[in-house]
């Protein structure tokens, strides 16, 4: 080759050696793991919940739902939605119970920074926004020193929202990288949002001026809106507010929000304005999942879900003669 003429023979092979070395380095980089190596301890991230841009659709999943780490690794759970969730590991023999908003062990941090595999651990309430009336955190971290499979739950959404941490022997090969988990989580998040929009469309087909649906959920996504939020009725008419979901509770609250939104107040049989609160309207509870209001005076009456108004779950009833 002319460009090598004049170069001492012992150096003429150098460009080829360098090219071969570069090619080998590239092939190793492509074939090697895209994330952490097997040696040492590593940190991983799990997203808690998901949501649409306007917070109307809320996801009921930890992303990823299952994650495999090595003994000694740390998992960081990051709030990814306005809806409140928890990361909660139950103690051995402890059963999952309905959420109790007055239990400090469900509302706040329980446990150390290292998971012992048998005790009750709780993140406290998690959200990516400030939630009126509640203390929330945006992140929660735990180190896993012991091997095993450990299931955890969101105390508010129960069996519909659970995840598993698989802890393998220290130094084991990781089956997935953080990048792999992030890609699969993004795909699952898009699927959850599609499900939520389909659910919202289905609810809209059922709602009328006399039947307002207080949100809805299907174990995958939650609709955090009244459907249909603005209705028009006549004096003397009744409006039924129904919670058709599987899990998420709501309220219908007119006027000033009471100190205890969980307790009913006011008279819904002859409402002419002022303060009225349904108390908790539970999901999947038969007749208890409905709240009926008879309007006895013309006017426009605004109301909220006292649990989710910070997400935009509000409405109004226009009453005409």
Q: Residues 227, 262: one domain?
A: yes
Q: Which residues contact 100 (CB under 8 A, 6 or more apart)?
A: 106
- For residue 73, with 0-12 CB atoms within 10 Å meaning exposed, 13-18 middle and 19 or more buried, which class applies? buried
Cis amide prior to 228 (ω within 30 degrees): yes
Q: Residues 140, 213: one domain?
A: no
Q: Residues 126, 64: one domain?
A: yes
Residue 133: give the domain boundaries.
43-190
Name which of 136, 131, 133, 215 is nearest 123 in CA terms: 136
DSSP 3-state of 190: helix
Domain boundary among 161, 190, 219: 190
Q: How many domains does the chain have?
A: 2
Is 23 part of a structural domain of the chain?
Answer: no
Is 255 part of a structural domain of the chain?
Answer: yes
Please give the full DSSP string across 264-314, using - where no structure is assigned.
Answer: -BS-TTSB-SS-EE---B-SS-GGGGEEEEEB-S-EEEEEE-TTTGGGT-E
**What pLDDT does 40 receive?**
82
Q: Which residues contact 66 (CB under 8 A, 6 or more apart)?
A: 163, 164, 166
B/e letters for 195-208, b = 16+ CB within 10 Å, e = fewer, are: bbeebbeebeeebe
**What pLDDT does 257 receive?**
94
Contact 77, 123 (CB under 8 A): yes
Using CA atoms, how far apart are residues 221 and 223, in angstroms rounded to an integer?
Answer: 7
Q: Residues 127, 211: one domain?
A: no
Q: Residues 181, 257: one domain?
A: no
Question: Which phi and psi angles does 35 have, rounded to 5°?
Answer: -120, -140
Q: Residues 251, 309: one domain?
A: yes
Could you tell me where the DSSP H helices lie in the chain?
A: 9-12, 14-31, 104-107, 178-206
**What pLDDT does 71 receive?**
98
Is 313 part of a structural domain of the chain?
Answer: yes
Q: Residues 258, 150: one domain?
A: no
**What pLDDT does 13 receive?**
39
Domain boundary among 190, 224, 242: 190
Q: Residues 153, 219: one domain?
A: no
**What pLDDT does 42 receive?**
96
Q: CATH no. for residue 47?
A: 2.60.40.420
**What pLDDT does 37 receive?**
59
Using CA atoms, how far apart are residues 182 and 105, in angstroms rounded to an integer?
Answer: 31
Neighbours of 132 (CB within 10 A): 9
Question: Which phi and psi angles does 23 have, rounded to 5°?
Answer: -65, -40
Please, how many CA atoms are within 13 Å of residue 130, restricted to the half-sphere of its CB?
Answer: 2
Is 254 part of a structural domain of the chain?
Answer: yes
Q: Residues 233, 153: one domain?
A: no
Q: Residues 229, 163: one domain?
A: no
Strand ranges of the sheet holding 230-234, from the earlier edge strand across to the other edge? 230-234, 314-320, 299-304, 253-254, 276-277
Is 314 part of a structural domain of the chain?
Answer: yes
Q: Residues 228, 185: one domain?
A: no
Is 184 part of a structural domain of the chain?
Answer: yes
Neighbours of 263 (CB within 10 A): 11
* Parallel/antiparallel/unpaired status of strands 211-217 and 290-294: unpaired
Is 100 part of a structural domain of the chain?
Answer: yes
Is 114 part of a structural domain of the chain?
Answer: yes
Q: Which residues of the chain, if any, have pLDDT below 50?
A: 1-35
């Amino acid at each position: 080759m002319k460009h090598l003429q004049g170069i001492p023979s012992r150096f003429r092979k150098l460009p080829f050696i360098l090219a071969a070395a570069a090619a080998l380095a590239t092939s190793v980089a492509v074939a090697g793991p895209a994330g952490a190596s097997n040696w040492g301890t590593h940190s991983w991230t799990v997203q808690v919940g998901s949501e649409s841009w306007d917070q109307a659709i809320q996801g009921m999943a930890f992303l990823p739902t299952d994650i495999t780490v090595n003994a000694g690794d740390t998992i960081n759970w990051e709030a990814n939605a306005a809806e409140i969730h928890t990361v909660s590991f139950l103690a051995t023999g402890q059963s999952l119970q309905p959420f109790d908003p007055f239990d400090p062990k469900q509302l706040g941090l329980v446990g150390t920074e290292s998971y012992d595999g048998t005790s009750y651990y709780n993140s406290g309430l998690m959200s990516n926004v400030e939630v009126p009336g509640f203390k929330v955190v945006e992140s929660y971290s735990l180190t896993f020193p012991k091997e095993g499979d450990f299931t955890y739950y969101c105390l508010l959404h129960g069996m519909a929202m659970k995840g598993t941490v698989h802890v393998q022997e220290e130094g084991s090969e990781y089956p997935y990288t953080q990048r792999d988990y992030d890609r699969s989580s993004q795909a699952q998040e898009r699927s959850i949002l599609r499900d939520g929009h389909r659910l919202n469309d289905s609810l809209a087909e059922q709602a009328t001026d006399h039947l307002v649906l207080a949100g809805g959920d299907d174990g995958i996504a939650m609709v955090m809106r009244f459907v249909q939020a603005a209705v028009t009725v006549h004096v003397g008419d009744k409006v039924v507010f129904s919670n058709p979901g599987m899990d998420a509770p709501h309220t219908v609250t007119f006027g000033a929000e009471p100190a205890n939104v969980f307790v009913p107040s006011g008279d819904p049989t002859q409402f002419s304005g002022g303060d009225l609160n349904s108390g908790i309207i539970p999901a999947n509870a038969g007749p208890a999942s409905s709240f009926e209001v008879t309007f006895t005076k013309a006017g426009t009456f605004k109301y909220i879900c006292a649990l989710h108004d910070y997400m935009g779950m509000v409405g109004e009833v226009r009453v005409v003669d």
